[in-house]
Chains A and B, each alone.
Chain A
């Protein structure tokens, strides 16, 4: 079935050749990999909305991408969505306890940023960190095992939902007290400048945490010393139960940098995010800190103990889902450019669901941490500390 003429005409200035159908059918039987999709042909996409700027010139609205990248975006975001929804049902069946903050709806922010960065760049965020961890190369097994408190989790079951880290891939967490991660992020940027790493740090925070004083302190210092820090405000418009207009005199978070330039981005459009992140990285490497405000939305409540409907209407939630859903946007692009058929996308979705289910099944089999883990990693060994036994009667401890 050849792509229809109207579809071909709709694609904007594309140099893409319609892919061969045999190739595509073959691709369906493989696991989700964008290797079967071309990364040589370029597709040009225009961002949904223009960028709003503060003290800088906006980047171009025209973004170049490839079929491979598009399919990777689709697969990654869909997997993240499935992961969060699976976490929801695991929480309800009490396999995950405590606090669990879900990221569904905001996948484009994470995916777009990853597309613009390398693993040498650092990312740090607060507690809504599952998808960011996955985007930085964490595996689904590590995610679910940690959420269920098993020893194969990324923090060996000792951290939980709010404490995911992956140092070797430049993911610095995972923090429970909002706002505190921004000075940490500026510290990462300081270290990058100190060691001339030619890399940047993206410090993420929400619209709620944007009112923390320590952000401004950190921004001031970063600007003074020209640190390669990018402060990213993931503005999902609600700080737990408080809407942004009730918590902030000026909800234009991208302008709050005052002397630092800012860019407001449609956070539900993965290409806008990618473009902005690229732009911000170039800026930060040369000129110091810049603020990105991602206009995004979370479908779930603040956390699993918040229904999310006492301070916003269900109509609002479903409205955003219908009009601005990030995965739907990519899906429409994929279909419009005939990169894949709906059936192939369905296969990718099934594949993602299977991966998530398999990871959960595997994580359920993992064992809980050993009792000796209670005392490991409090200090770095070698300074005379001795481990306590789990039985209080054997306690003996020396500290230097």
Chain B
């Protein structure tokens, strides 16, 4: 009985494991006989086939095989389970992290003020008391070195979750992330895997100043060997955190400073999101709007105006910044023939720029209008509130862009 229920298109999705026959079942979780992972992971693709990498061990599923997510028009909630619990995004991240740490003793957290202080955004609050100082490690202010240490530990099989207190601080660790984290699997001919998760808040906040409003996804996107995802709701935050930790590849999980207090009801059952998949936020017919992270909410706000004006936008939260989920995106473009990308990166060299290139390369024949890309201005983020607002894309600009595309 290996069926996986995949929800496509409508509503959300979930990528979950099929359940296996009892003869092959292996107990998971806090197993006394700790299974040795040999780089196995099960990836569920949208066409309901699944592939396993070599040396796989079948895992018994305590996971729900079909926590299908049904979205209503406003696409705000993510769970239909009658039970389910409400929490804030940072709590969802913590829940995901906690569950993974319980499940696998090799998962540890490394970062500044993550332990006793509880994390500067409270993501790791209470975890040092639960797991001890070595598993939730308070580091000195030395990003370059502790990121390197995380990569080194991962080379031997540990699975560190490295936190940058603000993504911008990870610029100090760029060498470690690009050269070691991204490349070691390749340069060693596959001997070493680097199953780290590098996470932290980034993006333009509320007047945090230029150096604390960085969007690092544009800098990391061309590093081969890295995978990048951006969470935007408590549901996908927990799911992506868990998936990222389970992944054998280095994953950078981009959180956003302004989204930590979003509240949502998420399922009680365990679930994992697919790292490479985009999320259909609002199905539509007129135009495909591709977005991620905080801009999703600006797009949703613009959507209210657009719907009132008679437009029917299809909104996709791309979530996977590297690689792009061209399947979902492509299906949408084949339906609507118009694309608007709304992102928070700078115009020059951002995620939008790459996405636009990828779409042109793959779906040129399906486009009826030039792809529009709304990005932040190519300026350091100013401190003054009004200037900062003009730096990022605002809902009225999204509305006028759609009107322009749909002419």
Q: Across the interface, do A177 and B209 meet the contact criterion of CB distance under 8 Å?
A: no
B113's partner among A161, A241, A248, A388 (CB-CB below 8 A) is A241
What residues of A have a CB within 8 angstroms of the CB of B51 in the complex? none
Interface-facing stretch out of B10-18, B191-199, B302-310, B379-387: B379-387
Asked whether any CB of chain B lies closer than 8 Å to the CB of A70, the reply is no
Interface-facing stretch out of A45-53, A109-117, A204-212, A266-274: A204-212
Q: How distant is B337 from chain A, measured CB to nearest CB, in Å?
A: 23
Q: Across the interface, do A157 and B387 meet the contact criterion of CB distance under 8 Å?
A: yes
Q: Across the interface, do A159 and B379 meet the contact criterion of CB distance under 8 Å?
A: no
Q: How far is the CA of A136 from the CA of B117 in the complex (A)?
A: 35
B350-407 residues at the A interface, CB under 8 angstroms = 374, 377-380, 382-387, 390-391, 397, 400
Q: How distant is B234 from chain A, measured CB to nearest CB, in Å?
A: 22
Asked whether any CB of chain A lies closer than 8 Å to the CB of B206, the reply is yes
Q: How distant is B347 from chain A, measured CB to nearest CB, in Å?
A: 9
Asked whether any CB of chain A lies closer than 8 Å to the CB of B116, the reply is yes
Asked whether any CB of chain A lies closer than 8 Å to the CB of B201, the reply is no
Asked whether any CB of chain B lies closer than 8 Å to the CB of A261, the reply is no
What residues of A have a CB within 8 angstroms of the CB of B250 in the complex? none
Q: How far is the CA of A157 from the CA of B172 in the complex (A)?
A: 27
Q: Across the interface, do B210 and A150 meet the contact criterion of CB distance under 8 Å?
A: no
What residues of A have a CB within 8 angstroms of the CB of B212 in the complex? 98-99, 162, 176
Q: Across the interface, do B116 and A159 meet the contact criterion of CB distance under 8 Å?
A: no
Q: Across the interface, do B138 and A246 meet the contact criterion of CB distance under 8 Å?
A: yes
What residues of A have a CB within 8 angstroms of the CB of B380 in the complex? 158, 378
Q: Across the interface, do A158 and B382 meet the contact criterion of CB distance under 8 Å?
A: yes
Q: How far is the CA of A149 from the CA of B382 in the complex (A)?
A: 9
Q: Across the interface, do A373 and B382 meet the contact criterion of CB distance under 8 Å?
A: yes
B209's partner among A150, A162, A247 (CB-CB below 8 A) is A162
User: Contact size class for A?
Assistant: 35 or more
What residues of B have a CB within 8 angstroms of the CB of A21 in the complex? none
Q: How far is the CA of A247 from the CA of B211 in the complex (A)?
A: 24
Q: Across the interface, do B374 and A392 meet the contact criterion of CB distance under 8 Å?
A: yes
Q: Across the interface, do A369 and B140 meet the contact criterion of CB distance under 8 Å?
A: no
Q: How distant is B1 from chain A, measured CB to nearest CB, in Å?
A: 50
Given A176-B212, A310-B117, A150 and B384 contact (CB-CB distance below 8 Å): yes
What residues of A have a CB within 8 angstroms of the CB of B142 in the complex? 211-213
Q: Across the interface, do A176 and B379 meet the contact criterion of CB distance under 8 Å?
A: no
B140's partner among A248, A392, A397 (CB-CB below 8 A) is A248
Q: Across the interface, do A208 and B140 meet the contact criterion of CB distance under 8 Å?
A: yes
Q: Across the interface, do B382 and A97 meet the contact criterion of CB distance under 8 Å?
A: no
| Interface size, chain B (Cβ < 8 Å) | 40
Please indicate which of the listed interface residues B113, B116, B140, B374 has the most CB atoms of chain A within 10 Å of its own CB: B140
Q: How far is the CA of A246 from the CA of B211 in the complex (A)?
A: 27
Q: How far is the CA of A120 from the CA of B22 in the complex (A)?
A: 79
Q: Across the interface, do B382 and A369 meet the contact criterion of CB distance under 8 Å?
A: yes
Q: Across the interface, do A374 and B210 meet the contact criterion of CB distance under 8 Å?
A: no
Q: Across the interface, do A159 and B172 meet the contact criterion of CB distance under 8 Å?
A: no
A98's partner among B139, B205, B390, B397 (CB-CB below 8 A) is B205
Asked whether any CB of chain B lies closer than 8 Å to the CB of A105, the reply is no
Asked whether any CB of chain A lies closer than 8 Å to the CB of B178, the reply is no
Asked whether any CB of chain A lies closer than 8 Å to the CB of B260, the reply is no
Q: Across the interface, do A158 and B383 meet the contact criterion of CB distance under 8 Å?
A: yes
A374's partner among B120, B172, B379 (CB-CB below 8 A) is B379
Type the 1/0 row for A378-396, where 1 means its CB is closer than 8 Å to any CB of B: 1000000000101011000
Q: Across the interface, do A375 and B383 meet the contact criterion of CB distance under 8 Å?
A: no
Q: Across the interface, do B378 and A378 meet the contact criterion of CB distance under 8 Å?
A: yes
In the complex, the chain B residue whose C-beta lies closest to that of A376 is B379
Given A211-B141, A242-B112, A369 and B387 contact (CB-CB distance below 8 Å): yes
Q: How far is the CA of A242 from the CA of B133 in the complex (A)?
A: 13
Given A240-B117, A241-B113, A388 and B211 contact (CB-CB distance below 8 Å): no
Q: Across the interface, do A374 and B211 meet the contact criterion of CB distance under 8 Å?
A: no
Asked whether any CB of chain B lies closer than 8 Å to the CB of A300, the reply is no
Q: Across the interface, do A160 and B207 meet the contact criterion of CB distance under 8 Å?
A: yes
Q: How far is the CA of A162 from the CA of B172 in the complex (A)?
A: 19
Asked whether any CB of chain A lies closer than 8 Å to the CB of B144, the reply is yes
A213's partner among B138, B144, B378, B400 (CB-CB below 8 A) is B144
A210-254 residues at the B interface, CB under 8 angstroms = 211-213, 239-242, 246-248
Q: Across the interface, do A368 and B386 meet the contact criterion of CB distance under 8 Å?
A: yes
Q: How far is the CA of A241 from the CA of B387 in the complex (A)?
A: 32
A176's partner among B206, B207, B211 (CB-CB below 8 A) is B211
Q: How far is the CA of A208 from the CA of B117 in the complex (A)?
A: 15
Q: Across the interface, do B117 and A241 meet the contact criterion of CB distance under 8 Å?
A: yes
Q: Across the interface, do A157 and B384 meet the contact criterion of CB distance under 8 Å?
A: yes
What residues of B have a CB within 8 angstroms of the CB of A155 in the complex? 383
Asked whether any CB of chain A lies closer than 8 Å to the CB of B90, the reply is no
B104-140 residues at the A interface, CB under 8 angstroms = 112-113, 116-118, 120, 138-140
Q: How far is the CA of A176 from the CA of B207 in the complex (A)?
A: 13
Q: Across the interface, do A179 and B141 meet the contact criterion of CB distance under 8 Å?
A: yes
What residues of B have a CB within 8 angstroms of the CB of A99 in the complex? 208-209, 212
Q: How distant is A262 from chain B, measured CB to nearest CB, in Å?
A: 19
In the complex, the chain B residue whose C-beta lies closest to that of A151 is B384
Residues of A within 8 A of B (CB): 97-99, 146, 149-151, 155, 157-163, 175-179, 208-209, 211-213, 239-242, 246-248, 310-311, 368-369, 371, 373-375, 378, 388, 390, 392-393, 397
Q: List 19 A-B contacts (CB under 8 A).
A: A149-B385, A158-B383, A160-B209, A161-B209, A162-B209, A177-B171, A178-B141, A240-B120, A242-B113, A242-B138, A246-B138, A311-B116, A311-B117, A368-B384, A369-B382, A373-B387, A374-B379, A374-B387, A397-B378
What are the 9 closest A-B residue pairs judged by CB atoms, nearest first?
A160-B383, A241-B117, A176-B211, A149-B384, A211-B140, A98-B207, A157-B384, A97-B207, A247-B140
